[in-house]
Amino acid sequence: MKAKFDWKPVKEYQEILFQKFDSIARISINRPHVHNAFTPLTVKEMIDAMNICRDDSDVRVIILTGEGGNAFCSGGDQSVRGHGGYVGTDTVPRLNVLDLQRIIRTIPKPVIASVAGWAIGGGHVLHVVCDLTIAAENARFGQTGPKVGSFDGGFGASYLARIVGQKKAREIWYLCDQYDAKDALDMGLVNKVVPLDMLEETTVDWARKIIAKSPLAIRMLKSSFNAELDGQAGIQELAGNATLLYYLSDEAKEGKNAFLEKRAPDWSKYPKFP
Ligand code: S0N
């Protein structure tokens, strides 16, 4: 499918595309011959691109998607699944998609999954951990773990259950059925369904609506939504943002300045709120 926006490449990779346009980053799995199944290298490249997005202050929203129009992602590439994990060229078995899930969850910018076609297995979990999901009418969702000898008991189970409810999440995992875009919308698994030829435009439109909002407010909201569910790690994320805001205050700067000037800090001039 031809892109509708003038996406510019940020960095060349082997198994993903990483592009940018108007403060929106686009990370797209580029393995359409296997419905965008991921290998350890795909995941490594996505993590690298995510880290670049984190440090690039011009990137405000990240779109996660897959090339070809027939699949977002079909999960781990079963042809490289070995004894103890997915095996890359270094012959080490790993499940590094868990690292990617945590980055999507904690990166202080919204990540929008733009789903055309299959979002299956570990590919389904990837859209689940994104902040928002826009689905094309041809999208199909589901887990396959118990059918192919695996399961994701992390975000793939517990966060899924927070989204669709315990009964539905158990149904999704125990039966391994597939759900169309309307089913997904009905169960709150996706935010919006659009015709396939409107997917890119709608995703960019949602990204632009977010970009028009206060960046710090959006950042605080993302960590606030995570905090309740993510235990001490969630509190750490929210507290890190509180510290960031505190660093910006004159009161915090007085503490640092007093230390450097070898004097006692004077807290008297800073406002105290009820
Ligand atoms: C997506 C499906 C339903 C599409 O069916 P369809 O349209 O009939 O197409 P196919 O002919 O089946 O596929 C086209 C070509 O693509 C290859 N292919 C598709 N998916 C994969 C894949 N995952 N790995 C490797 N190849 C794949 C097909 O083989 C075919 O190739 P050719 O043309 O050469 O025959 C259907 O394709 C399907 O069911 N795919 C498999 C889905 C699946 O089971 N995925 C793996 C699920 N597990 C994970 O993702 C594990 C990773 C994970 O996230 C995880 C995380 C934390 C803890 C645990 C786990 C874990 O689950 O282990």
> What is the pLDDT at residue 200?
98
Amino acid residing at 271: P
Pocket test for ligand 1, best of 74, 138, 150 (most atoms within 8 A of CB): 74
The beta-carbon contacts of 9-15 under 8 Å, at least 24 apart in sequence, are 10/49, 10/52, 11/48, 11/49, 11/52, 13/45, 13/48, 13/49, 14/41, 14/45, 15/39, 15/41, 15/42, 15/45
Task: Establish whether residue 144 lines the binding site of ligand 1, counting it when its CB lies within 6 angstroms of any ligand atom.
Answer: yes
C-alpha of residue 74 to centroid of ligand 1, in Å = 5
Please report the atom of ligand 1 found closest to the CA of residue 123. Answer: 50
> What is the pLDDT at residue 259?
98
> What is the pLDDT at residue 2?
80
The secondary structure of residue 12, as a DSSP letter, is -
> What is the pLDDT at residue 3?
84
Q: Which two tokens stand for residue 201?
A: 């435009």
Task: Establish whether residue 139 lines the binding site of ligand 1, counting it when its CB lies within 6 angstroms of any ligand atom.
Answer: no
The answer to whether 235 is a known ligand-binding residue is no
The secondary structure of residue 38, as a DSSP letter, is B
> What is the pLDDT at residue 137?
98
Task: Establish whether residue 75 lines the binding site of ligand 1, counting it when its CB lies within 6 angstroms of any ligand atom.
Answer: yes
> What is the pLDDT at residue 116?
98
C-alpha of residue 9 to centroid of ligand 1, in Å = 28
> Which CATH architecture group holds 215-261?
Orthogonal Bundle (1.10)
Task: Establish whether residue 125 lines the binding site of ligand 1, counting it when its CB lies within 6 angstroms of any ligand atom.
Answer: yes
For residue 78, what are the contacts with CB-CB under 8 A and spacing of at least 6?
A: 37, 148
The answer to whether 68 is a known ligand-binding residue is no
What is the residue extent of each domain of the chain? Answer: 8-212, 215-261
Q: Supply the ipTM of this predicted assembly.
A: 0.96
- Residues (pLDDT < 50) of the chain are none
> What is the pLDDT at residue 67?
98
- Residue 245's Cβ-side half-sphere holds a number of Cα atoms within 13 Å equal to 11
Pocket test for ligand 1, best of 30, 34, 155 (most atoms within 8 A of CB): 34
Task: Establish whether residue 151 lines the binding site of ligand 1, counting it when its CB lies within 6 angstroms of any ligand atom.
Answer: yes
Task: Establish whether residue 80 lines the binding site of ligand 1, counting it when its CB lies within 6 angstroms of any ligand atom.
Answer: no
CA distances (Å), origin 182, targets 120, 174, 221: 16, 21, 28
Beta bridge partners of 27: 18, 64
Q: Which bin fits 106, alpha (ψ -120 to 50), beta or left (φ > 0)?
A: alpha
Residues 52-111 have pLDDT tens digits of: 999 999 999 999 999 999 999 999 999 999 999 999 999 999 999 999 999 999 999 999
CATH hierarchy code of domain 8-212: 3.90.226.10
- CATH topology match: 8-212 vs 215-261: no
Task: Establish whether residue 74 lines the binding site of ligand 1, counting it when its CB lies within 6 angstroms of any ligand atom.
Answer: yes
Which residue matches tokens 């205050």? 249
